[in-house]
Amino acid sequence: MTAIELDGITKQYGSLRAVDTLDLQINEGEVFGFLGPNGAGKSTTINIILDFVKPTAGQARVFGMDCQEEGQRLRQRIGVLPEGYDVYDRLTGRQHLEFAIESKEANDDPQELLERVGVAHAADRKASGYSKGMAQRLILAMALVGDPDLLILDEPTTGLDPNGAREIRQIIREENERGTTVFFSSHILGQVEAVCDRVGILREGRLVADDSIENLRSNMPGGQRLVVEGTGFSESVLDSIRGINGVESVTVETEGTVVAVGLGEDASKTAVLNEIEETGATVEDFETEEASLEDLFAAYTTEEEVRA
Ligand SMILES: Nc1ncnc2c1ncn2[C@@H]1O[C@H](COP(=O)(O)OP(=O)(O)OP(=O)(O)O)[C@@H](O)[C@H]1O
């Protein structure tokens, strides 16, 4: 069954189109990473799903129910970690959960939830003394109240150090193993890579990519670099490499002993290596480097030509 289905969602704020005819389907049991630079429209989309914002056009459904018509009923099945949500300094961890349980009319055991997110040891301490990571885990525990079928996490790892971010990802994974669908927004690709089955990249309100990170990488223009170490890289050798089908760039590094070849989708590494040897140069060593996550994110969010 489909957990989230967005059909032509558009949100116009005056002359600004925050979300532009967005179509998206998230299956039940999936961990989906919703990515995009600041201002791309991620929070607006989430707010439409939660019926906090009305779309200008289009339809949003969660578990087959219309978000705008059955928002209240749906929110019972959704756990939300809102962007930039703060803890209440005067309340203890346990009191936070008691408050969330009461608001959602659920009957969870606060202690069990605190244990699930690893802050049970600080249950009776005021949240003012919690570290940023502990506070974020506490907010996540509040999102887990009522055993939601769908977790919507808006930038859950923002402001956390790598350990804190890893712990949050671990909890997300565990919740997913319990059967929860997870919709995880972030503007940092690295934060979602380890945990998401699939990512969607939003840019200026439009979906410019929707795939696994592995596929996005292999489809990215200039996705791989072949770095060849050797001798005899004359201009004519370099020109012959440039002439090979699928080669996008050729640069010489380290005083002429290393050639870096940008490979497009159709390029063959073997063809490049053969060409080098046949034109009289020598290959001593070579390796292929994958595009970094930063390169990948930049390619989808800043290039003029992006792939849908
Ligand atoms: N209530 C509003 N009124 C007018 N413009 C808005 C409103 N809410 C959002 N916007 C604009 O819509 C665009 C999308 O904003 P949104 O917050 O959805 O982006 P985002 O991808 O969540 O960004 P970030 O990563 O910074 O949170 C931005 O240009 C923002 O300024």
ipTM of the complex: 0.96
In a domain, residue 194? The reply is yes
| 18 and 40 part of one domain | yes
What the block records as the tokens of 110 is 């606060």
How many CB atoms neighbour CB 75 within 10 A? 18
**The ligand 1 atom nearest the CA atom of 41:** 18
| 21 and 143 part of one domain | yes
**CA 115 to ligand 1 centroid distance, Å:** 35
In a domain, residue 87? The reply is yes
- Beta bridge pairs of residue 228: 259, 286
| 31 and 157 part of one domain | yes
| 164 and 268 part of one domain | no
In a domain, residue 278? The reply is yes
| 60 and 140 part of one domain | yes
Q: 220: exposed, middle or buried (C-beta count within 10 Å: 0-12, 13-18, 19+)?
A: buried
| Tens-binned pLDDT, residue by residue, of the chain (308 aa) | 899 999 999 999 999 999 999 999 999 999 999 998 889 999 999 999 999 999 999 999 999 999 999 988 898 899 999 888 889 999 999 999 999 999 989 999 999 999 999 999 999 999 999 998 899 999 999 999 999 999 999 988 887 888 888 888 899 999 999 999 999 998 877 778 878 889 999 999 999 989 988 788 777 665 678 899 999 999 999 999 989 988 888 888 877 889 988 887 777 888 999 999 998 899 999 988 776 667 777 777 765 444 43
Task: Tell the residue nearest (CA) to atom 12 of ligand 1.
Answer: 18
- Domain C-terminal end among 190, 213, 236: 213
| 14 and 97 part of one domain | yes
The reply to whether ligand 1 has any atom less than 6 angstroms from the CB of 88 is no
The contacts of residue 70 (CB under 8 Å, 6+ apart) are none
| 39 and 134 part of one domain | yes
The CATH number that applies at residue 83 is 3.40.50.300
**CA 24 to ligand 1 centroid distance, Å:** 19
* Domain around 133: 2-213
| 188 and 117 part of one domain | yes
The reply to whether ligand 1 has any atom less than 6 angstroms from the CB of 203 is no
Model confidence, pTM: 0.78
Number of domains the chain contains: 2
Decide if 267 contacts 244 (C-beta within 8 A).
Answer: yes
| 233 and 150 part of one domain | no
In a domain, residue 308? The reply is no
In a domain, residue 307? The reply is no
In a domain, residue 296? The reply is no
The reply to whether ligand 1 has any atom less than 6 angstroms from the CB of 47 is no
The CATH number that applies at residue 230 is 3.30.70.100
Which of 38, 44, 189 to probe ligand 1 with, by most ligand atoms within 8 A of CB? 44
| 129 and 259 part of one domain | no
Distance CA 47, CA 6 (A): 13
- Domain C-terminal end among 164, 188, 213: 213
In a domain, residue 91? The reply is yes
- Domain C-terminal end among 213, 229, 261: 213
| 126 and 8 part of one domain | yes
- Residue 306 has a pLDDT of 40
Task: Tell the residue nearest (CA) to atom 30 of ligand 1.
Answer: 39
Task: Tell the residue nearest (CA) to atom 11 of ligand 1.
Answer: 18
| 49 and 198 part of one domain | yes
**CA 20 to ligand 1 centroid distance, Å:** 13
In a domain, residue 246? The reply is yes
Q: What is the 3-state secondary structure (H, E, C) of the chain?
A: CEEEEEEEEEEEECCEEEEEEEEEEEECCCEEEEECCCCCCHHHHHHHHCCCCCCCEEEEEECCEECCCCHHHHHCCEEEECCCCCCCCCCEHHHHHHHHHHHCCCCCCHHHHHHHHCCHHHCCCEHHHCCHHHHHHHHHHHHCCCCCCEEEEECCCCCCCHHHHHHHHHHHHHHHHCCCEEEEEECCHHHHHCCCCEEEEEECCEEEEEECHHHHHHHCCCCEEEEEEEECCCHHHHHHHHCCCCEEEEEEECCCCEEEEEECCCCCHHHHHHHHHHCCCEEEEEEEEECCHHHHHHHHHHCCCCCC
**The ligand 1 atom nearest the CA atom of 53:** 1
